[in-house]
Each structure stands twice: as structure tokens, then as C-alpha cells.
Amino acid sequence: MKGRKRHVVVDVLGLVLGCYVTSANTADVKAAPAVLVWVLEMFERIVKVLADQGYRGALGALIEHFFEQQERQVKLELTQRPTASQGFQVEPKRWIVERTWTWLENARILTRDYERLPENHEGMIYVVMIRLMLRCLAKNRRTWEAQTA
């Protein structure tokens, strides 16, 4: 099937901690373990995972099963739309991920599917995020140097 689906884990600032690229027909709950288990192993300080409704079901069981051997508590919280709401409704904390998607979509290399392998596409996501972080650091340094001079 043509198309890619990107599964990303971001921190509270919207910086990418991990990503996994699959074909567009892959269900979210099937791809989530591939990225989430790796991120939770790499970043031991994570105590809460926020996810949208596409990840309900198997994800909670995965987190409980994975960390019961390690005696580590990781809480899973799924975003919920208010039941009485109609139309567009802002969900708490969802804007952090949406902002990250916007940052990534502004990169020309990610707007088209230039890469043949999903692993290469993942690498390009990391490269784009590194470029964004370096730009922010350089801008902050110029501002800081102007203030101290």
C-alpha cells in the first residue's frame, strides 16, 4: 500500500523522543509497541504516557505487562472528548503533538515520500528535529549575547 504513517513520542516541549514509520494501513495499536517500549526503556524518568483514542485497548495492557517485571510504574492516560461537545473541541495537551507535526511538515524532505525504506524516513524525521533544535539554540545564543554585550 502506498503512503506512510508516522508514530512519534514527544516530550512536554514537543521534541521527538522516538519515532516509528509504517505503511499507511498499519493500525496504531500494532505499531505503538515498537516505538513506545524503546522510548520507555531509554528514558527511565517517564512516569506518564498521554495517548489519543487510536491507541486504546492493547496499549494499556502492553505497559502493564512490560513493566511488571521491572517494578516500574508508568501511567497511561487517554485523551477524552467531552461527551456533550459538537464540532471542533481543543483537547488538553493534544496541541503539543500537533505543533510537532507542523514543525515536521514544514520540512520539504518530509512532505513527499522520497525514501524507499521506512527506516530512512525515520532517520529524516530525526534529522529535521535536530535541525529545528539547533536553530532554536543558535537563536537563543544570539539573543543572550546581545543582552550581555
Domain boundaries, the chain: 4-148
* 14-28 pLDDT tens trace: 889 999 888 888 887
Which residues contact residue 39 at a Cβ distance below 8 angstroms, ignoring those fewer than 6 apart? 9, 17, 18, 46
In this prediction the pTM is 0.75
Q: CA–CA separation, 128 vs 49, rounded Å?
A: 24
Q: Is the pLDDT of residue 134 over 80?
A: yes
Q: CA–CA separation, 107 vs 7, rounded Å?
A: 17
C-alpha grid cell, residue 57? 485497548
Q: Is the pLDDT of residue 88 over 80?
A: no
User: What is the structure's pLDDT at 130?
Assistant: 92
* CATH architecture for the domain at 4-148: 2-Layer Sandwich (3.30)
Element (H, E) at 76: strand 75-78
* 30-54 pLDDT tens trace: 787 788 888 888 888 888 888 777 7
